[in-house]
Structure 1
Amino acid sequence: MDCVHYFSGRCRSCALMGQPYAAQVSEKERSVRALLPASVTWAPSITGPEHGFRNKAKMVVTGTVAAPVLGIADRAGVGVDLRDCGLYEPDLGNSFDVLARFVTLAGVTPYDVGERRGELKYLLVTVAPGGALMARFVLRSTESLLRIRKHLPALLAWLPQLAVVSVNLQPEHKAVLEGPEEIVLHGESLTMRVNGLDLHLRPQSFFQTNTEIAAALYRQVADWVAEAAPNRMWDLYCGVGGFALHCAAPDREVVGVEVSAEAIASARLSAAALPGALEFVAADATAWAQRQVTAAELVVVNPPRRGTGTELAGWLECSGVETVVYSSCNATTLARDLEQMPSLVPMRARLLDMFPQTPHYEVVTLLRRR
């Protein structure tokens, strides 16, 4: 893949840009395998398109009301417009010019980091299979909220595929993408149809960046769970419930645990149409697991980059859980967590290239108690 922004030096986010895609995947495989025991059986890596795959955009907004810039800010705080970035799914990329036009129409001043003034910090946009969109305006305050409401009908006329529009308030001057308060202006949830299942994504809910590879990840985990055939299963750090929903069965009790209340609301909405005993709990995964009297036979964990941490890894080691499926976006923290649970032996693993053009990836590992 060639990118004018990368080769001109304007954007260096894609650290592997210019390398042949096969070489990128090969290097990821080499680095991940080096961190896991040599006895692990590896399935072939799962790859997808090397461009046009991103289903979400986190656009820094700079420039002026008349000429907003959507993309990133360089070290000097100068905006770099990335509306034509080749990583975005086409339906996502096609929305940016319309959203920029709306910023001008509604008179929402881009936030100036150096001057600490202005309103619009980020535009967060997600596209679902089929082209439906969610757009979130991250604002410093409610100063422009009435104008956004006033002109929202125009935006919906320009972009009728918008299923959800919301405002997120982030008043603090620090490098935090969004704040806790969300004001939904239109719709409720974005429907992500994956492997024949409708996953409902509300604002502030996490979903994987690459829909095609996420679908493959869910299928792989569902296959391993079907082989183990547990009567009880937990999905810790469940997000919108992707793993739990894919593993639901009439004779299986499945509990998903996630700290985000919005994600749990999304998961519950999706679960209503599925068979089996599906329960979703808004709680800290570690604290919730420690409170349970007995453990499930199988536990899926999908922690953030920092990993499960010592407490949860230690609990899994002593819990009596027979099978753990660990989905990780950072094999370094995965390897560290595995050291904390030596009775759970990595048996199988698979790399999924969720993030082409970057060193990042997803790796899923099947652990069984020795």
Structure 2
Amino acid sequence: MVTAKPEVELTVSRIVAGGAGMAELDGRKVFVPLTAPGERVRARLVLSKRDYAVARLQEVLEPSPHRRAPRCPLFGRCGGCQFQHLVPDEQLRVKREMVADALRRIGRLDLPVAPVLPAPDEWHYRNKTQYAVGIDRGPRVGFFVTGTHRIVPAEPCFLHPARFDAARRACADWLCGAAAQAYREHDHTGNLRHLALRTDGRRTIALVATRTRRISVELVERLAATPGVDAIVQNVNPEPGNRIFGPETRPILGEPGLEYELAGRRLRVSPTAFFQVNTAQAETIVALVRERLGDRRWTRIADLYCGVGAFALAVSDLAEQVTGVESSPVAVADARRNAELAGAGNAEFTEGDAAFLPADIGPADAVILDPPRKGVSRELIATLGAARPDRIVYVSCDPATLARDLALLGKTGYRAGDVQPVDMFPQTAQSSP
């Protein structure tokens, strides 16, 4: 006998990290995705723990005035977006509240959080998309269903350029006749793992991630015939698991590199090197970093987790010496080439783990931190506390780890200033404080 999950009526008080609405039921927090603050909803409990529960929205009984119809028919199923049902101003308000909440709750910090800086475009802003490939009642190319590794063939996607959809379709059409090529994560068989598309606004590359060095000639021909695809690159990842890229990348067709312009600098970016997916808002963040460094002439600025050198080169005119540290050899090679393009003779780039600041880069009186989502290591925080640079500018992609790290830096004697969130990802629960 199957017992139906109970349905409950709830009033959503606010939206929390991850994008779900939060309500209370019998003293427990209940998290309900796809809701808005102030709404009364009917929801079905799908997970019940001692101190919290998760529910699936069944009906909005009293909608928020900030609710709108989502543009994408797959919203709520595809895991890419969480906020399409909220008007833009409400998305920004919610994201500001999420940042402030993380600072208070995790960092025990009562800091001023400025209004979120909106993106110029709420749609089609992404310069990169990564599609998963697999078998889900047949071969599929698309995005993961929320909370699963099932694949939904999302097309069109309203967050990236339309030409990406055409490349996805070309790959999916080929895969229909070559299902054995689709990667199966559970037993590490099949060959085609992911299809990634990247554009700098002028050129678009298709990055085909495979398990072996073999690549289908027919797939290459179909992608090459897709309007808007200028180059094809293969990345080989022979390791099991869901990591997208492996250590080997090789060009298959056309010129593989992309070139972005940021803060008046040309930045060459290799196919697997990191670059912000919202180019317009990357410009905003660069301007904020320069503003936080002020008009002072610095002796040395250290840019830790520097990637292809975007921040280091953007501030190279503010210092006698700029040093970038990055663990990816591909990104370091790009950064050195970008310094040559910029004529920035005072910029140098070192390959190394920024979490353990290399001693040979010399003392710095200003530091830029732009770590991955896991934030800054305790070892680096201790090193910074001992080195005492005059200023630290922290660029974060996760409010929770930012709050943790600011609290730890505070214990070394630093005092956090203002926090300026930037909406890098409209329609999603992510922001960059």
TM-score band by shorter chain is 0.7 to 0.9
For residue 193 of structure 1, the aligned residue among 249, 261, 279 is: 261
How has the CA–CA distance of structure 1 residues 115 and 231 changed in structure 2, closer, same or farther, with 3 Å as cutoff?
A: closer
1:119 matched to 2:188? The reply is no
The answer to whether 1:81 aligns with 2:153 is: yes
1:76 CA displacement: 7.7
Q: 1:173: which partner in 2?
A: 240
String of CA shifts for 1:101-120, please: whole Å, max 9, x gaps.
Answer: 56679998222335643210
Change (3 A) 1:229 1:30: farther
| Selected match of 2:89 from 9, 15, 22 | 22
Residues 1:229 and 1:101: Cα distance change in structure 2 (over 3 Å)? farther
Q: Distance in 1 between matches of 2:168 and 2:244?
A: 19
- Is residue 325–residue 349 contact of structure 2 (8 Å, CA) maintained in 1? yes
Q: Please, which moves more after superposition, 90-99 or 268-277?
A: 90-99
TM-score (norm 2): 0.74
Change (3 A) 1:90 1:277: same
Q: Partner residue of 2:418?
A: 348
Length-normalised TM-score, structure 1? 0.85
Q: Per the alignment, do residues 178 and 337 of structure 1 end up closer, same or farther by CA in structure 2, a change over 3 Å counting?
A: same
2:272 maps to what in 1?
Answer: 204
With 324-333 and 9-18 compared, the bigger mean Cα shift is at 9-18
Counterpart residue number, 1:11 = 78
Match 1:182 to one of 232, 240, 249: 249
Aligned residues: 353
Deviation by residue 1:322-352 (Cα, 9 ceiling, x = unmatched): 0000000111111111122222212222110
In 2, the alpha carbon distance for the partners of 1:178 and 1:218 equals 27
**Correspondence 1:58 to 2:130:** yes
CA 1:76–1:189 in 2, change beyond 3 Å: closer, same or farther?
A: closer
Deviates more, 1:10-19 or 1:299-308: 10-19
4+ residue segments displaced more than 6 Å: 104-108
Return closer, same or farther for 1:203/1:72 CA change in 2, 3 Å cut-off: same
1:300 aligned onto 2:368: yes
Cα 1:22–1:222 shift into 2, 3 Å = same
Identity value in percent: 28
Per the alignment, in what secondary structure is the counterpart of residue 341 of structure 1? helix
Structure 1 stretches lacking a partner, 5+ long = 364-370
| Structure 1 contact 40–348 (Cα < 8 Å) conserved | yes
Aligned counterpart in structure 1 of residue 330 of structure 2, from 234, 250, 262:
262
Helix, strand or coil at the partner of 2:238: coil
Q: 1:239-272 deviations in whole A, cap 9, x for unaligned? A: 1111011112286211111000001111111111
More helix by percentage: 1
For the 8 Å contact 2:312–2:324, the answer to whether it is kept is: yes
**335-344 vs 235-244, which deviates more?**
335-344
Equivalent position amino acid for 1:173 in 2: P
Aligned 8 A contact 1:300 1:325 in 2: yes
Q: Quick one: distance in 2 between partners of 1:226 and 1:184?
A: 42
Structure 2 runs not aligned, ≥5 long: 1-69
Structure exhibiting the larger radius of gyration computed from Cα positions: 2
Instruction: Let me know the Cα RMSD of the aligned residues.
Output: 2.7
> Per the alignment, do residues 107 and 200 of structure 1 end up closer, same or farther by CA in structure 2, a change over 3 Å counting?
farther
2: CA distance between counterparts of 1:76 and 1:29?
28
SS in 2 for 1:4: coil
Find the aligned partners of 1:20 and 1:352 in 2 and give their Cα distance: 17
* Structure ranking higher on relative contact order (CA contacts 8 Å, 6+ apart): 1
